[in-house]
Amino acid sequence: MPQVSRGPAHFAMQYQVLARKWRPQNFRDLVGQDHVSRTLLNALQSGRVAHAFLFSGPRGSGKTTTARILAKALNCHDIQSGEPCGKCVACVEIAAGNCMDVLEIDAASNTGVDNVRDLIEEIQYSPARDRNKIYIIDEVHMLSTSAFNALLKTLEEPPTHVVFILATTEYHKIPATILSRCQQYTFRLIRYPLILERLRWIAQQEDIRISTAALEQIVFSGGGSMRDAMSAMDQVIAFSGQNVKDEDVTMLLGLVEPALLESTVRAIAANDADKIFSIVNDLAAAGQDMQNFCRRLLNQFRDLMVLKAGVSDAAVLGIPESLLPDLKAQADLFSREDLLRLFDYLARVEAGLRHATQTRFSLEMGLVELAQVPRMRPLEDLIAEFTRLVEGGQAQGTETARPAAPAPPGNRPAAPKSQTPPAAKNPGTAAAPPGSLAAPANPVEPAGQAPAGGARQLLEQIATAVPKESLAPLLHSLAGASLHEDRVTLNLGPSLNDFLRRQLRENLAMISEAASRVVGRAVQVHFEDLMPAVPGSRPAPDAARQTAEMDVSEIARREPVVQSFLDAFPGPVKAEKIKP
C-alpha cells in the first residue's frame, strides 16, 4: 500500500482559515448583531418561530453564520434556553456542513425556475432524522424573476416541517412579494472596537504576538466586515509568522500609514510644494498605488470634516481611538468651508487618476494645486471686519494723506510772541492733576501752542480715553490738540475728509467727556482747521477763492438729495467751477 505524503502540501490541506475555525457556534458568540441574536433567542424560547426568514446586510456581517446557528437551534437534541448545545449529532453535523436535513443552496448557481421546481418537490418529504428540514438559500437576490414567482406559494405556506432562511447582500433586489412572506432581519457593519477585541482574543488563542497598532490596521482594512478582517489577519500571519511587525502589516495590506497622511495634510495646509513632491516620490519608490493613496487622503479629509462638525465618536468616524488626537489637531488647521472645498477638489483629482496614463504626475500636480486653493473665511468674520473698516478703518487710511508729523522741538518754527500770554495772566486757573498734560509750572496751555510733544500727547491721551474703539484711530490721525482754560481745540488738519469730520461731530459729546477725564475738569471740545504758523508767511493768493468754494460745498451738502448720496457713498466732495 503506497505511503501517504506528509509534506508541506499535506499540512496545507489540513489548515483551516481563521474565519472558519473561529466562526461563532451560538448566539452568545455573535459579534455586533445583538438586535438579531436577542430577537431569535426570544422567538426560540417562546416557540414563536417563523417559517421563513430573510437575513440582509453587508458581506462578512454574520448572515450565514447566524443562519447555521438558527438551524442548529431548530434541530438541536438538547437545546437549552434557545441556545444549541453544540454537542449532539445534529449540531456537530450542521457545524461541519454535512447534515442531511439542513441544505445550503447557492442561488448564484441555481438561478432558474427549474431549480426552484426541484426544490419544491423535495420539501414534500419529511426530514431524515431531525425535527425540521431547513433550506438556507445564500445570495437569494440572484434568482430570476420566474424563479421568485415559482417560490412564492411554497414560501408562504410551506409544510410544517420546512423552514426557509434566505440571505442576501442586496436587499433592494428582492421582490416585494418575497419580502412580505418573510420575517426580515437587517445586519449591520460591525463596529471597529468589537472587531478589534475579537481579533485580539483570536491572537491570544493562536499565540500570535502582534501590537495593538498592527491590529488596528488590520481592523481598518476589513471595513467593518469580520470575515474580511480575519482574512487579512490570516494573510499577515502567513507572512510574518508568530511575531507580527507593524511595518509588515502596512506593506502587506497596501495600507497608507496615518503618519504619511498627516504629513500630506500639513503640507497642503502650509502650501509646502517641496514636501508634497517628497511624499509622492516616497510613494512611488515604495510601489504604492497612487489612486489608493488619493482615496485614503480623501477619506482623511472626510474624517477631518466630521470632526470639525463636532462628532468625535471613533465608531462614527471608522477609525481607531488612538488616532483621534492627531486628527483633531489636523482639523484645527482648516475651517469648515476649507475642508468642503478641499474634499470636493480632491474628489475630482481622484476621479482623474482613474483615466490618467501617468498617475504620479497627475497626483503631484493635483496636490500642489490643492495646496494653493485659497482659503475661505467665515461670513461672520468678514462682516465684523467690514464693520470695523466702516467705523475706523478709513481713518487709518488718512494717516498717509495728512501732513507729516510735527518737526522735532529743535526744528519747530517759533510761534509769534504775541500769541504766548505769560503764565501770570492766569493766576486763578487750577493746576492739572498728576498724570495730565499740563505741568505744574505751566498748568494751562495757551491756545494754539503746546510745549514740545504736548499737542500730540494730549491728543493721544484723549484718543486712549474714548470708550468707542473706532474713534481712537480717527483721533490719532488728527494734527494735534491744544488746551486753553476750559476749551480743548482739536486740529483737524487739511487732509481729513468730510465723512470722518462728520464722525467726529456726531461723537462730540463722547470726545468731550474723554477730554474732561484727561484734563481733570469739565472742558468743551471744539474742532478747528489750524495750520502751523510760519513767520513771514503770507496767505496764498487763491485763499479767498478756496473759502468761497468751501462755502458752496457746505451749502450743497445741506441739500437732502446730496446728503442721502453722501450717506451711501461717503468721501470727499470737491467743488468744480462750471465753464460757460
DSSP lists the bridge partners of residue 481 as: 490
Do 257 and 290 fall within a single domain? yes
User: What's the pLDDT at 421?
Assistant: 42
What confidence category does residue 42 fall into, taking pLDDT thresholds of 50, 70 and 90? very high
Helices assigned H by DSSP within 123-169: 145-156
Do 280 and 310 fall within a single domain? yes
User: Is 247 inside any structural domain?
Assistant: yes
DSSP class of residue 140 equals G
User: Is 89 inside any structural domain?
Assistant: yes
User: Is 182 inside any structural domain?
Assistant: yes
Residue showing cell 499740563: 438
User: What's the pLDDT at 175?
Assistant: 93
* pTM for the full predicted model: 0.58
Do 344 and 219 fall within a single domain? yes
343 is written with which cell numbers? 474634499
Find out whether 459 and 476 touch, Cβ atoms under 8 Å: yes
365 burial level (CB within 10 Å; 0-12, 13-18, 19+): middle
- The share of the chain scoring above pLDDT 70, in percent, equals 75
User: What's the pLDDT at 253?
Assistant: 80
Give per-residue pLDDT as tens, 44-58: 999 899 999 999 999
Do 154 and 228 fall within a single domain? no
> 105 pLDDT exceeds 70?
yes
CATH, residue 239: 1.20.272.10
Do 239 and 365 fall within a single domain? yes
> 482 pLDDT exceeds 90?
no
Give per-residue pLDDT as tens, 9-23: 444 456 788 888 899
More confident of the two residues 76 and 563: 76
Mean pLDDT value across the chain: 78
More confident of the two residues 469 and 335: 335
Find out whether 61 and 188 touch, Cβ atoms under 8 Å: yes
Q: What is the 3-state secondary structure (H, E, C) of 543-568?
A: HHHHHHHHHHHHHHHCCHHHHHHHHH
Do 94 and 220 fall within a single domain? no
Picking from 371, 400, 416, the residue at the C-terminal end of a domain is 371
Do 60 and 167 fall within a single domain? yes
What confidence category does residue 473 fall into, taking pLDDT thresholds of 50, 70 and 90? confident
* Mean pLDDT, residues 434-459: 48
Do 35 and 169 fall within a single domain? yes
Q: What are phi and psi of 438, to 5 degrees?
A: -70, 135
Find out whether 558 and 522 touch, Cβ atoms under 8 Å: no
Find out whether 95 and 65 touch, Cβ atoms under 8 Å: no
Distance CA 515, CA 122 (A): 105
User: What's the pLDDT at 75?
Assistant: 92
User: What's the pLDDT at 417?
Assistant: 42
Residue showing cell 497626483: 363
**DSSP letter string over 160-185?**
TTEEEEEEES-GGGS-HHHHTTSEEE
What confidence category does residue 200 fall into, taking pLDDT thresholds of 50, 70 and 90? very high
Give per-residue pLDDT as tens, 253-276: 877 788 888 999 999 988 889 999
Q: What is the 3-state secondary structure (H, E, C) of 50-108?
A: CCEEEEECCCCCCHHHHHHHHHHHHHCCCCECCECCCCCHHHHHHHHCCCCCEEEEECC
CATH, residue 158: 3.40.50.300
> 160 pLDDT exceeds 50?
yes
Distance CA 66, CA 39 (A): 12
Beta strands in 411-563 (DSSP E): 480-484, 487-491, 524-528
More confident of the two residues 447 and 253: 253
What confidence category does residue 562 fall into, taking pLDDT thresholds of 50, 70 and 90? low
Per the structure, the count of domains in the chain is: 2
User: What's the pLDDT at 461?
Assistant: 84
User: Is 506 inside any structural domain?
Assistant: no
- The share of the chain scoring above pLDDT 90, in percent, equals 27
User: Is 149 inside any structural domain?
Assistant: yes
115 is written with which cell numbers? 431549480
CA torsion sign for 350, 351, 357, 362 is: negative
Helix, strand and coil percent figures for the chain, each rounded to 5: 55, 10, 40
User: Is 534 inside any structural domain?
Assistant: no
- As a dihedral over the C-alpha atoms of residue 239, residue 241, residue 243, residue 246, rounded to 10 degrees, the angle is 10
Q: What are phi and psi of 80, to 5 degrees?
A: -130, 110
Do 238 and 279 fall within a single domain? yes
Do 65 and 99 fall within a single domain? yes
User: Is 266 inside any structural domain?
Assistant: yes
Do 102 and 68 fall within a single domain? yes
Give per-residue pLDDT as tens, 106-141: 888 888 888 899 889 888 888 988 899 999 999 999
Give per-residue pLDDT as tens, 539-548: 444 444 444 4
Three-state secondary-structure class, residue 248: helix
Burial 173-192, CB ≥16 within 10 A → b, else e: ebeeebeebbeebebebbbb
Picking from 188, 215, 233, the residue at the C-terminal end of a domain is 188
Strands 183-186, 52-56: pairing is: parallel
426 burial level (CB within 10 Å; 0-12, 13-18, 19+): middle
Picking from 371, 396, 423, the residue at the C-terminal end of a domain is 371
> 509 pLDDT exceeds 80?
yes
User: What's the pLDDT at 571?
Assistant: 64
Burial 73-110, CB ≥16 within 10 A → b, else e: bbbbeebeebbbbeebebbebbbeeebebbebbebeeb
494 is written with which cell numbers? 487739511
Residue showing cell 502589516: 249
Contacts of 580 (CB under 8 A, 6+ apart): none
* Mean pLDDT, residues 144-168: 92
CA-based nearest residue to 506, from 478, 525, 522: 525
> 178 pLDDT exceeds 90?
yes
Residue type at 275? K
Tell me the residue range of the domain where 322 lies: 194-371
Residue showing cell 448557481: 109
Do 161 and 216 fall within a single domain? no
What confidence category does residue 439 fall into, taking pLDDT thresholds of 50, 70 and 90? very low
Distance CA 421, CA 418 (A): 7
What confidence category does residue 570 fall into, taking pLDDT thresholds of 50, 70 and 90? low
DSSP lists the bridge partners of residue 44 as: none
Give per-residue pLDDT as tens, 353-380: 888 888 999 999 999 988 887 666 666 6
User: Is 548 inside any structural domain?
Assistant: no
Q: What are phi and psi of 219, to 5 degrees?
A: -60, -45
Count the helices and strands in the chain (H runs, E runs). Answer: 27, 8
Distance CA 527, CA 492 (A): 7
Strands 183-186, 102-106: pairing is: unpaired
More confident of the two residues 486 and 383: 486
Distance CA 550, CA 466 (A): 30
